[in-house]
Amino acid sequence: MGVRFVCGFVIGCLVGLLLGWRLILERAARDGMRFVVFWLSTWALAGAIVAIFRIPHWLKPGYKGVRDPDQQRATSTAEKLRPVDPEAYNRLTHPSPKQLHDFVAWLRETTLSELERTRGDAAATRAVFLRFFQRGLRADLLLGELTDIMPSILNRAQYSGPERAEVIAMLKAMSLEELGVKHDEQGARFEDPAA
């Protein structure tokens, strides 16, 4: 209660100063300090009274916290933070940046572990990269976003110079049809070859 009184007093004084600054300067210039003190103390007292008797909504007896009647906001927040199975992730159904970040991290780590197992086998390495692109496209990531992830995968896979050049040449040779991207009169779309 005392804190609210002091805060209201200070805020009231500042409001009085803000609203009457011209009047205060004019009266102070003519040695009317009694008016200046009266003006500021009236505003300060009014601010203190408002602060004491104005009860914030969160202090009222019926306050139950931040809730929507239909719980929509609480549900959407929980939905954004809920982990999603990476194999079932889709950006359109799970638009949360956290879920996207989790999926990209999973995709990168899964691809790296598969590359470690297939090191030295060109056909198996090609299959790993095809799965990488297909998983990303199935999750509605853009091809550009997937190619932006590629350098970090190649760096962490620690390919030697000739191996790296071979892998990059293999990636450049992949066609959109191999990745599952189909072109027709409706435009380009991803069709999952596994489905």
- pLDDT digit string, tens, across residues 137-194: 888 888 889 999 999 999 999 988 899 999 999 989 988 888 877 777 776 666 766 6
Residues 47 and 95 placed together within one structural domain of the fold = no
User: Residue 65 — left, alpha, or beta (φ > 0 → left; ψ -120 to 50 → alpha)?
Assistant: left
Residues 91 and 51 placed together within one structural domain of the fold = no
Q: What confidence score (pLDDT) does residue 194 get?
A: 62
Q: What confidence score (pLDDT) does residue 74 get?
A: 46
On whether the pTM is more than 0.75, the answer is no
Q: Which domain holds residue 89?
A: 85-190
Q: Is 195 a member of any domain?
A: no
- pLDDT digit string, tens, across residues 95-139: 888 888 999 999 999 999 999 999 889 999 999 999 999 898 888
Please name which of 103, 111, 194 lies closest in space to residue 150, comparing C-alpha atoms: 111
Q: What confidence score (pLDDT) does residue 195 get?
A: 55
Q: What confidence score (pLDDT) does residue 77 get?
A: 62
Residues 107 and 169 placed together within one structural domain of the fold = yes
**How many domains does the chain contain in total?**
2
- pLDDT digit string, tens, across residues 34-75: 888 888 889 888 888 888 787 766 666 666 665 555 554 545
Residues 101 and 181 placed together within one structural domain of the fold = yes
Residues 186 and 152 placed together within one structural domain of the fold = yes
User: Is pLDDT of 76 > 80?
Assistant: no
Q: What confidence score (pLDDT) does residue 166 get?
A: 92
User: Is pLDDT of 82 > 90?
Assistant: no
Residues 118 and 158 placed together within one structural domain of the fold = yes
